[in-house]
Amino acid sequence: MANPRPPTPRILSSGVVVVHWNRDHYDYLLLRAYNYWDFPKGVVETDESPLQAAIREVEEETTLTSLRFRWGDVYRETYPYNQGRKVARYYIAESVTTEVRLPTNPQLGRPEHSEYRWVDHAEAWNLLTPRVRAILEWTDNVMARLAQRR
């Protein structure tokens, strides 16, 4: 009898749902790589926490700094994807600015993303895949709970 294969280790990506207050609603920052839209995220390195990785990835991919984690360090993970090998964890933070740049990634020799957009909820819903729509819904629920407490 052959030994069963050990489970493939999961890769944890970590990112941030970046929001910006726009008069009467929040806009969401989406990044496009190929034909897929997502929130800024990337692989957690061995020497950093998932939250540190999320903050680093936002800065590397968008040049945004000084994020305000108004909702604390709560997070939500996606269901496994990429043949069950990967999970993405997302935090929520507010940016006071909408000035985004897509800098060149030194390993790629080009930006990781080809486009960014600040979009309202309806447009975000239309652009995101079902896996990431679940994160959008969770974000809205977290932000609504905080707004009710005020």
Q: What ranges do the domains of the chain cover?
A: 11-149
- What is the C-alpha separation between 84 and 87, in angstroms, rounded? 8
CB 122 within 8 A of CB 14: no
Best CA proximity match to 15, nearest among 46, 47, 52: 52
DSSP-derived letter for residue 81 is: B
Q: Looking at per-residue confidence, does 77 or 147 come out higher?
A: 77
Question: pLDDT tens-digit profile of 63-108?
Answer: 999 999 999 999 999 999 888 899 999 999 999 999 999 999 998 9
11-149 has which fold? Nucleoside Triphosphate Pyrophosphohydrolase (3.90.79)
